[in-house]
């Protein structure tokens, strides 16, 4: 298989499940030393074990991207353990589904604090390590909701649109340092994230699986199903590689 990340250090936020987890496994299969975080320790340890069981290298550290001190400690510990950073996938995210006036202030702060401030804190503490390395790549997970209308997603849409602005501006700040920063915009993807948003429906697993495979509302034109986490992860890994050395400040969308 491809080994674009042999001897490379890759850091991922939010890899205890979904797209991040699938990416961690893919990065490790391509030879990376993977450092990742998330709040659910049991799942983090499980992903770490799974990668090691197939001969890969990974370190899970519990960190909440809303907490600056935890983000800094996570990033510094991974860079310290593996001798620097080469690529980062800032992917942690949550949402709350409800009309705007029903959001509590805490819910708004939680979504924006995770999806936008969390992405800022991750980038802030990664940059010095990438500068020290003489360059690197960062991919930040935005969403198609950051550029198109989606009902009940006002906090999320604000945060994910904010991510796009941050990425474009920061890509200029660090271009001279050889650091490329891009945004990934997944369309609807079959993960806990979407299950949670549709959680009020409380669907049995079998019904959900059928829905995921046949969903006519998919925002990926013509596909009539959601993407799988692994399909999105495959794109994320390529975008975080050096396959496209001219790509920076860009928005890569997986949907229409």
Binding stretches for ligand NDP (CB under 6 A): 13-20, 37-40, 43, 64-66, 91-94, 114, 141, 143, 186, 188-189, 191-194, 229
CB of 80 to ligand NDP, least distance (A): 20
Q: HSE, CB side, 13 Å, CA atoms: give it for residue 132.
A: 11
Pick between residue 3 and residue 40 the one whose CB is nearest to ligand NDP: 40
Among positive and negative, which fits the CA dihedral 86, 156, 192, 183? negative
> Which residue lies nearer to ligand NDP by CB, 3 or 214?
214
Choose between 133 and 186: whose C-beta lies nearer to ligand NDP.
Answer: 186
Nearer to ligand NDP, 65 or 181 (CB): 65
How far apart are the C-alpha atoms of 226 and 219, rounded to whole Å? 8
Please check whether residue 235 is in contact with residue 243, taking contact to mean a CB–CB distance below 8 angstroms: no
> Shortest Cβ distance from residue 111 to ligand NDP (Å)?
9
DSSP 229: H
Measured from the CB atom, is 133 or 193 closer to ligand NDP? 193
Q: State how far the Cα of 60 lies from the Cα of 43, in Å rounded to an integer.
A: 10
Name which of 126 and 133 has its Cβ closer to ligand NDP.
126
Name 165's Cβ contacts closer than 8 Å, sequence gap at least 6: none
Annotated catalytic, 156?
yes
Q: Give one word for 249, left, alpha or beta, with left for phi > 0 and alpha for psi -120 to 50.
A: left
Q: Cα(187)–Cα(219) distance, rounded to whole angstroms? A: 6
Task: Say which residues have a Cβ less than 8 Å from residue 189's Cβ, sequence separation at least 6.
Answer: 18, 19, 226, 227, 228, 229, 231, 232
Smallest separation (angstroms) from ligand NDP to the CB of 214: 16
Shortest gap between Cβ of 6 and ligand NDP (angstroms)?
A: 25
Name 34's Cβ contacts closer than 8 Å, sequence gap at least 6. Answer: 10, 11, 12, 15, 24, 27, 28, 51, 56, 57, 58, 59
Cβ contacts of 223 within 8 Å, gap of 6 or more = none
Evaluate whether 225 touches 214 at the Cβ level (below 8 Å).
Answer: yes
User: Closest distance between ligand NDP and the C-beta of residue 193, in Å?
Assistant: 3
Q: Which of the residues 60, 125, 156, 174 is marked catalytic?
A: 156
Residue 253 CB, nearest distance to ligand NDP (Å)?
Answer: 10
**Residues labelled as active-site residues:** 156
């Amino acid at each position: 298989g491809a080994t674009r990340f042999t001897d490379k250090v890759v850091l991922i936020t939010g890899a205890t499940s979904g797209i991040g987890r699938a990416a961690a496994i893919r990065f490790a299969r391509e030879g990376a030393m993977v450092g990742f975080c998330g709040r659910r320790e049991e799942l983090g340890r499980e992903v770490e074990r799974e990668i090691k069981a197939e001969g890969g290298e990974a370190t899970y550290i519990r960190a909440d991207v809303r907490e600056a001190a935890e983000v800094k400690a996570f990033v510094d510990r991974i860079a310290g353990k593996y001798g620097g950073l080469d690529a980062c996938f800032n992917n942690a995210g949550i949402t709350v589904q409800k009309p705007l006036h029903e959001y509590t202030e805490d819910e708004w702060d939680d979504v924006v604090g995770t999806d936008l401030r969390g992405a800022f804190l991750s980038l802030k503490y990664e940059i010095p390590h990438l500068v020290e390395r003489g360059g690197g790549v960062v991919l930040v997970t935005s969403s198609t909701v950051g550029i198109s209308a989606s009902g009940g997603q006002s906090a999320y849409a604000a945060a994910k649109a904010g991510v796009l602005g941050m990425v474009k501006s920061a890509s200029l700040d660090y271009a001279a340092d050889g650091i490329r920063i891009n945004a990934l915009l997944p369309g609807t993807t079959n993960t806990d994230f979407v299950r949670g948003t549709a959680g009020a429906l409380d669907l049995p697993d079998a019904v959900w699986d059928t829905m995921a495979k046949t969903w006519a509302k998919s925002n990926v034109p013509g596909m009539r199903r959601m993407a799988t986490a692994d399909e999105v992860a495959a794109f994320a890994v390529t975008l975080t590689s050096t396959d496209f050395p001219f790509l920076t400040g860009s928005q890569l969308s997986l949907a229409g």
